[in-house]
Structure 1
Amino acid sequence: MEVTIIDTSGLGDRSYLVSDRGVAAVIDPQRDIDRVLNIARQRGVTVTHVLETHIHNDYVTGGLELSRTVGAEYIVAAGDEVEYQRRAVTDGDVIDVGPFQFRVVHTPGHTFTHVSYVLLDSAGNAAGVFTGGSMLHGTTGRTDLLGPEHTNELTHAQFHSVRRLAAELPGEAKVYPTHGFGSFCSATPASGDSSTITDERETNPALTKDEQTYVDELISGLAAYPAYYAHMGVINTSGPEPVDLSMPEAVDSAELRRRIAAGEWVVDLRNRRAFAAGHLAGTFGFELSDSFVTYLGWLYAWGASLTLIGEDVDQILAARRELARIGADNLTGSAVGDISALADGAPLNSYRVADFASLAEVLGDDLAILDVRQTNEFDESHIPGAVNIPLHELLGRRDEVPTGEVWVHCGSGYRAAIASSIIDSPARTVVLIDDEFDNAGEYGLTGSR
């Protein structure tokens, strides 16, 4: 029996393919199911079952399409009122795949109806557990995604769900969570790349702290999560449309300028320094990286048309795949190639890129500092006098950014680069600080409240 991890680093999630003797089951697949199909083909196995731990809030599921494509049985918790055919399971049910089985365990907390699946080998021994958003590596799933009125109840439920898993499973059983590898569905950052029940008994706060301490600390530590989460549950409950990973229609420079002038979302995928060196005025710079889809999905007006600018076709297609995972499907155009050629004679905008050492040299001058980290990051340590507007709030608060010279920073440069493209205007001289915030302390720049 083999468990294959299918990592989606851009969203901080994992899906899994369990295979043995020619058959396989898939747990929590992402929408781009071609990855699963390719692995099954390489393994020489037939996918007979597709299992969901919960209705996901951070991505569009590929479970429905995968089950229809391969003719597999689709397993969803009975408590989830979905609009498609599935096998509804409840606590204690057993799913027989042939060479192995899954036992359903109701583990509320991340959602009310959340289930985990205990993997049983041919001898009936618990070899592992697929925990979705309940027990993660050294932490647990966040409990506030269904609204603040439910957070306290769900946090208590999460505590007991993790304790149940730890009590019922042997120490050597491996823990296979869906979230916790950078996902905002994790209450706190997860630890390590693998774990067992024994590991969790020693490190998981739901197992090392008393119930009220766990609840209080989890709730007090919850930070903001991406706005697009509001749409994921709706899509996953109604049933996602089949994925489209094709190249968006090509548009020329004149059409690019028309779309920009009309206020449409035109997104430049190039490296942040390349964007700073020259870009079309009115475009947004979202460097294609592991953070790309989270922040674009967080900021952009849901359902608005998107036009992508990239260095080549591969970059556009990679971005489309990332966007498809969160259901951002309204890609109405693309343009590739040298940015000067795409400008077709129109002047390019640019701004300076610097580091914290450079800021230290000019700090006494007439300039403003914009810190676009989240509030909890700012409270922990910041540059005195800096204006803190978290990136996800910046579009609605651009008028609060001072005019004149504005130095923009975050924790690493990625969010600051997006913010710089948002506030870039004739009234401001933008300087992007492309540097790790930890370096600011070396130059005596940081303080705290």
Structure 2
Amino acid sequence: MKVEQIYTGCLAQGAYYIVSENEAAIIDPLREIKPYLDRLEKDNVTLKYIFETHFHADFVSGHLDLSKKTGASIVYGPTAQPAFDAITAEDNQIFEIGKIKIKVLHTPGHTMESSTFMLIDENGAETAIFTGDTLFLGDVGRPDLAQKATNLSQEDLAGILYDSLQNKIMPLADNITVYPAHGAGSACGKNMQKETVDLLGNQKRTNYALNQPNRESFIREVLDGLTAPPKYFGMNVAMNKGGYESIDNVINKGLTPISVEDFEDYAEETGALILDTRSPLEFHKGYIPNSINIGLKGDFAPWVGALIVDVKHPLLLITDDGNEEEAITRLSRVGFDNVIGYLNGGFEAWKNSGKETDEIKRISPEEFAEQFDENSKVIDVRKLAEYSAEHIDNAFNKPLDTISDWVKSIDDSEHFFIHCAGGYRSMIAASILNSHGIRNFSEIEGGFNGIKKTEKFPLSDFVCQSKTM
């Protein structure tokens, strides 16, 4: 028997590849399926089942393409009603893969079809649980996402989740391994640990949600501090439940090179957003006017989803040479399938053609220290939890994910400084501000991490972030 966790850092997502004898199962696969097909071929095994813990909101699963390529059956837990052929399992139903078994434990609460899959080894021992978004390491799945689909309140769903955990998870042996669908950084929870695998016994001891004295306390603590979910989540659920275009078609369509001469026409005719995926360091030196920077080397897909929102919005890409397919693939992970093409030759071709360019005023932390005084206006675009932990005294907290709301209130007649933790998010914000005609600001390279190193700024008292959530 082999169990492999396939962890994708930018989505903080774990998929699982399980092999016994000549058969395999995959749990919660990502959209691009080639890595799974390569493993199957290397191991010379047949994919028998694709298990889905629930209809995912934060990414588009690869279940449909994987099933079409391999003939494997897709399995959901009780109450799931997908628009395609799939097995809707019963609670406690057993599925055999080689000499091992997968047992379905219906654990509603995060969503009503949410299920945990228990691994029973060749000796009949219960060895692991694949918990999806029911149980994370350090947290549990947020119970506010399925309200519209169920006509239940978040309090109702939290109570159902409590019952699932108490009746299905807590009675299990402490030595069972917990394999969650997400880790720290995912928007599906608020207090996740950085580790991606743990023993259930340790979670029973350390997970705040599993240590509440009663149902009412659990509901209160799990709902406390939840921020609004990213707006693209509902669209991803719809795709996972209703179906989507083959990723092969999405990639082939997106890999259309567009000349400098035609690029502007494409943008005007389609209303496409120009998405520049280069690093903040390169972007600030020069970019195509009105393009938005979300760097590929970062939490690219989640920020695209949070800021662009509409998965059907047409996109034109600016990438470093050779990164075109990676950008299209990572966009498809969160359902952004409408990539029209990319600028052939990238930004260098645009600049060399003599066309208009723009730039962001970026300054070092040391320059910031020289220019800063008691009248300076500072905007901190980090999350509230980061800001609450420590920030520059009198800085305004305006989180990046709410920029569509606060950009309208910015007074461009008054200069301000803008920063995040390291420079990735503040450059995204800067590009959006510029696209709205707001230019009277300086973005700080290195963000709060660099600012602290200068030791020249009045800061709030440090508070551990886990206590601010």
Would you say 1:95 and 2:102 are equivalent positions?
no
CA distance in 1, matches of 2:371, 2:43: 59
Where does 1:31-50 land on structure 2 (aligned, <5 Å)? Answer: 31-50=31-50
- The correspondence for 1:226, drawn from 227, 230, 239, is 230
Higher alpha-carbon deviation: 198-207 or 22-31: 198-207
* Alignment TM-score, normalising by the size of structure 2: 0.89
Q: Deviations over 1:48-106 (max 9, x none)?
A: 11111111111111112212221112211230111111111121111122311111111
Instruction: Check conservation: 1:311, 1:336, Cα contact below 8 A.
Output: no
Q: Deviations over 1:174-224 (max 9, x none)?
A: 111112242211232224232011121211123223233332222112123
What is the total number of aligned residue pairs between the two structures? Answer: 448
Instruction: Check conservation: 2:59, 2:333, Cα contact below 8 A.
Output: yes
- The correspondence for 1:296, drawn from 301, 304, 311, is 304
- The correspondence for 1:256, drawn from 243, 253, 263, is 263
Higher alpha-carbon deviation: 268-277 or 96-105: 96-105
CA distance in 2, matches of 1:187, 1:370: 24
Aligned position for 1:372: 381
Instruction: Check conservation: 1:310, 1:336, Cα contact below 8 A.
Output: no
* Structure 2 CA distance for partners of 1:220 and 1:443, relative to 1, 3 Å: farther
Q: Deviations over 1:149-198 (max 9, x none)?
A: 52112222223323334433222211111122422112322242320111
Where does 1:229-248 land on structure 2 (aligned, <5 Å)? Answer: 229-243=233-247, 244-246=250-252, 247-248=254-255
- The correspondence for 1:156, drawn from 156, 159, 168, is 159
Higher alpha-carbon deviation: 29-38 or 336-345: 336-345
CA-based RMSD of the aligned residues comes to 2.3
Instruction: Check conservation: 2:20, 2:97, Cα contact below 8 A.
Output: no
Aligned position for 1:339: 347
Kindly state the Cα deviation for residue 145 of structure 1 after the two structures are TM-superposed.
0.9
Kindly state the Cα deviation for residue 306 of structure 1 after the two structures are TM-superposed.
0.1
Instruction: Check conservation: 1:271, 1:288, Cα contact below 8 A.
Output: yes
Kindly state the Cα deviation for residue 301 of structure 1 after the two structures are TM-superposed.
4.8
Kindly state the Cα deviation for residue 376 of structure 1 after the two structures are TM-superposed.
4.1
Aligned position for 1:143: 143
Higher alpha-carbon deviation: 347-356 or 189-198: 347-356
Higher alpha-carbon deviation: 418-427 or 82-91: 418-427
Code of the residue aligned with 2:292 in structure 1: it is F
Aligned position for 1:445: 458
Higher alpha-carbon deviation: 111-120 or 140-149: 140-149
Kindly state the Cα deviation for residue 309 of structure 1 after the two structures are TM-superposed.
0.5
Aligned position for 2:280: 272
Instruction: Check conservation: 1:356, 1:443, Cα contact below 8 A.
Output: no
Instruction: Check conservation: 1:29, 1:61, Cα contact below 8 A.
Output: yes
Kindly state the Cα deviation for residue 265 of structure 1 after the two structures are TM-superposed.
0.4
CA distance in 1, matches of 2:432, 2:197: 39
* Alignment TM-score, normalising by the size of structure 1: 0.93
Kindly state the Cα deviation for residue 261 of structure 1 after the two structures are TM-superposed.
5.8
Aligned position for 1:173: 176
Code of the residue aligned with 1:395 in structure 2: it is S
Instruction: Check conservation: 1:110, 1:145, Cα contact below 8 A.
Output: yes
Where does 1:64-143 land on structure 2 (aligned, <5 Å)? Answer: 64-143=64-143
Kindly state the Cα deviation for residue 119 of structure 1 after the two structures are TM-superposed.
0.3
CA distance in 2, matches of 1:60, 1:202: 33
CA distance in 2, matches of 1:239, 1:347: 41
3-state DSSP class of the match of 2:37?
helix
Aligned position for 1:51: 51
Instruction: Check conservation: 2:47, 2:70, Cα contact below 8 A.
Output: yes
CA distance in 2, matches of 1:46, 1:427: 56
Kindly state the Cα deviation for residue 22 of structure 1 after the two structures are TM-superposed.
1.5
Kindly state the Cα deviation for residue 367 of structure 1 after the two structures are TM-superposed.
4.8
CA distance in 1, matches of 2:116, 2:364: 46
Instruction: Check conservation: 2:384, 2:397, Cα contact below 8 A.
Output: yes
Kindly state the Cα deviation for residue 259 of structure 1 after the two structures are TM-superposed.
4.8
Aligned position for 2:434: 424
Kindly state the Cα deviation for residue 379 of structure 1 after the two structures are TM-superposed.
4.1
Higher alpha-carbon deviation: 126-135 or 139-148: 139-148
Q: Deviations over 1:265-306 (max 9, x none)?
A: 001111101100111111111110231111111111511110
Instruction: Check conservation: 1:369, 1:408, Cα contact below 8 A.
Output: yes
Kindly state the Cα deviation for residue 226 of structure 1 after the two structures are TM-superposed.
1.7
Gaps of 5+ in 2: 464-469
Code of the residue aligned with 1:279 in structure 2: it is Y
Aligned position for 2:192: 189
Higher alpha-carbon deviation: 132-141 or 332-341: 332-341
Would you say 1:205 and 2:208 are equivalent positions?
yes
3-state DSSP class of the match of 1:4?
strand
Instruction: Check conservation: 1:109, 1:161, Cα contact below 8 A.
Output: yes
- The correspondence for 1:354, drawn from 363, 370, 387, is 363
Instruction: Check conservation: 2:298, 2:424, Cα contact below 8 A.
Output: no
Q: Deviations over 1:349-379 (max 9, x none)?
A: 1223234443232222865322222344434
* Structure 2 CA distance for partners of 1:32 and 1:407, relative to 1, 3 Å: same
Instruction: Check conservation: 1:223, 1:376, Cα contact below 8 A.
Output: no
3-state DSSP class of the match of 1:428?
coil
* Structure 2 CA distance for partners of 1:25 and 1:146, relative to 1, 3 Å: same
* Structure 2 CA distance for partners of 1:430 and 1:273, relative to 1, 3 Å: farther
CA distance in 2, matches of 1:197, 1:434: 42
CA distance in 2, matches of 1:208, 1:188: 14
Would you say 1:214 and 2:218 are equivalent positions?
yes
Instruction: Check conservation: 1:141, 1:179, Cα contact below 8 A.
Output: no
Code of the residue aligned with 2:243 in structure 1: it is G
* Structure 2 CA distance for partners of 1:304 and 1:423, relative to 1, 3 Å: same
CA distance in 1, matches of 2:61, 2:255: 22
Aligned position for 2:421: 411
3-state DSSP class of the match of 2:170?
helix
CA distance in 2, matches of 1:48, 1:401: 55
CA distance in 2, matches of 1:395, 1:255: 30
Instruction: Check conservation: 1:27, 1:53, Cα contact below 8 A.
Output: yes
Kindly state the Cα deviation for residue 140 of structure 1 after the two structures are TM-superposed.
1.2
Code of the residue aligned with 1:179 in structure 2: it is H
* Structure 2 CA distance for partners of 1:191 and 1:35, relative to 1, 3 Å: same
Q: Deviations over 1:294-334 (max 9, x none)?
A: 1111111511110000111x311111111111111000120
Code of the residue aligned with 2:188 in structure 1: it is C
Kindly state the Cα deviation for residue 141 of structure 1 after the two structures are TM-superposed.
1.2
Higher alpha-carbon deviation: 293-302 or 430-439: 430-439
